[in-house]
Amino acid sequence: MATLEQLFQVQEEKTEDKVDWLNDRIQPFVLFQMPDGGWIEFPLGIFIPSTPTKKDSFGQIVREVEAYDGLVVLDQDKFTSRTAYTAGTAYESVVNDILRSAGITKIKITFPVGKTLATTKEFEIGTSKLQAVNDLLTEINFVPLWVDVNGYYVSYPYETPDNKRVDYMYTDRELSIIFEGAEEELDLFEVPNSWVVTVSNPEAEPIVSAKVNDSPDSPTSTVSRGRTIVDAREVDDMADQASLDAYVERIAFEASQVYGSIKFRTPLMPFHENYDVLGLQYAPLGIDGKYAEMNWNMKLEAGGQMEHVVRKVVSI
């Protein structure tokens, strides 16, 4: 499930439960004290608690709480009747209708003008509204829906990391904040270098898009490997040929990044968001390049550390 999950420890009064675990939300913050004695705070998101475990610990009541970001609302809310949107309806109208049907009003999505359903779109009973929204966003080559630190549901046109600016720079040079012990993992065996996607819908003519990675600078290309590894797939719908071509470019680019990942640790850096692009320099492993941040985790305590997992940005 494409939700952000956190584990919190919450201390409470021993004689009274002050949290409504069914309806309340958790919003953690990281606070930094400035040289002038003031404080600056960074929100980390708004989470829905689940299955809190209550226990006594040295005279205090402590709960360990799993919590999920707002995507869980869409994942758990499903269509209870067959729902259809007719061809020609704007993607903006369909996505917003589904989001609002789940009670979501904090929406931050700017849709392209003129993108409409090519065929009638029908959702079966039991289809999660998260799946429906992400399917629609894929058809116009937007990133999957995510929830920002202030609880807004966000998506925007996909852009390959090699075309994006570097958001943050991490280096092991003077005044470095990278802790020792970075790890690099390589896995080249099954990385494809050829992609073909067909849109097959009985209500429309099939359309096809293909791409081959034949770049001599890419370690997984047909040129470098001397053989072709094909990723062939079929999708139900796309807005148009241009959206399909962009989708194929996207899956080709993303597949070509997965052959290597790097883990490294820093102090808490609470300002990261989805799809950040980093500059990373780490001399002991010979690392110096542009990387896309895939995920991170942190301990919410004074002096806590943050672990980053990044993948190298490779142009194809």
CA dist 240 and 218 (Å) reads 29
Helices (H) and strands (E) in the chain, counts: 5, 19
- Count of Cβ atoms closer than 10 Å to residue 57 Cβ: 9
Total domains present in the chain: 4
Which amino acid is located at 39 in the chain? Answer: W
Shared domain for 81 and 31, answered yes or no, is no
Shared domain for 144 and 78, answered yes or no, is yes
Shared domain for 111 and 147, answered yes or no, is yes
Shared domain for 174 and 304, answered yes or no, is yes
Shared domain for 182 and 277, answered yes or no, is yes
What are 86-129's pLDDT values in tens digits?
A: 999 999 999 999 999 999 999 999 998 889 998 899 999 999 99
Which residues are CB-neighbours of 277 under 8 A, at least 6 positions away? 161, 164, 165, 166, 167, 290, 291, 292, 293, 313
Which amino acid is located at 41 in the chain? Answer: E
CA dist 171 and 11 (Å) reads 37
The pLDDT value given to residue 315? 65
pTM of whole model > 0.85?
Answer: no
Measuring CA to CA, which residue among 45, 11, 28, 30 is closest to residue 146? 45
Which range marks the domain in which residue 101 is found? 74-155
Shared domain for 130 and 237, answered yes or no, is no
The pLDDT value given to residue 204? 78
| CATH code for position 123 | 3.55.50.10
CA dist 310 and 266 (Å) reads 13
Averaged pLDDT for residues 157-173: 88
Averaged pLDDT for residues 51-70: 83
Shared domain for 84 and 62, answered yes or no, is no
Shared domain for 166 and 23, answered yes or no, is no
DSSP run (H or E) holding 91: helix 91-101
First to last CA, the chain: 30
The pLDDT value given to residue 277? 92
